[in-house]
């Protein structure tokens, strides 16, 4: 590997990579560091997702899309809540047709709430 120019100090390398503080980008004070909160990637605490293809009624997809981006996540969360209710015994494991009825009922309730807010 060929060297270009003269060697630079560690400080010069860091200044080149991260920039030098100025009036527009001042350095953090110790007080600001004390108040800082580390952000975590929420995906680290969640189980991995599996890509599947599923056919849903158009009205179900339209309902979840009305709230904007992230509708697939909201569908996943609705299914997760239902699964947890079944697993914890707060709801007996339903027959498939009963499950479909319950989901439709829940969607109807959510639709009414959404229409009231609009």
Range of the domain at 54: 43-117
pLDDT tens, 74-116? 998 888 888 888 888 766 656 667 777 778 888 888 888 777 7
Asked whether residue 101 is domain-assigned, the answer is yes
Say whether pTM exceeds 0.75. no
| 41 compared with 12, residue with greater pLDDT | 12
pLDDT at position 53 is 92
Q: How many domains does the chain have?
A: 1
Residue 2 in this model has a pLDDT that exceeds 60? no
Asked whether residue 36 is domain-assigned, the answer is no
Contacts of 92 (CB under 8 A, 6+ apart): 86
Asked whether residue 31 is domain-assigned, the answer is no
Q: What is the CA radius of gyration of the chain?
A: 26
DSSP string, 59-94: HHHHHHHTT-S-HHHHHHHHHHHHHHHHHHTSS---
Contact 21, 27 (CB under 8 A): yes
pLDDT tens, 60-77? 999 999 988 989 989 988
Q: Chain centroid to CA 9: how far?
A: 41
Tokens at residue 72, please? 């697939």
Q: How far apart are CA 8 and CA 73, in angstroms?
A: 48
Asked whether residue 29 is domain-assigned, the answer is no
Q: How many CA atoms lie within 13 A of 98 on its CB side?
A: 7
């Amino acid at each position: 590997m060929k060297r270009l120019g003269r060697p630079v100090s560690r400080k010069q390398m860091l200044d080149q990579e991260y920039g030098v503080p100025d009036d527009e980008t001042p350095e953090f004070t110790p007080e600001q560091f004390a108040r800082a909160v580390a952000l975590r990637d929420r995906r680290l605490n969640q189980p991995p997702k599996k890509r599947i293809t599923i056919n849903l009624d158009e009205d179900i997809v339209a309902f979840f899309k009305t709230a904007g981006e992230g509708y697939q996540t909201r569908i996943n969360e609705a299914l997760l809540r239902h699964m947890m209710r079944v697993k914890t015994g707060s709801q007996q494991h339903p027959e498939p047709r009963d499950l479909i009825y319950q989901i439709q009922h829940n969607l109807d309730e959510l639709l009414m709430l959404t229409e009231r807010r609009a």
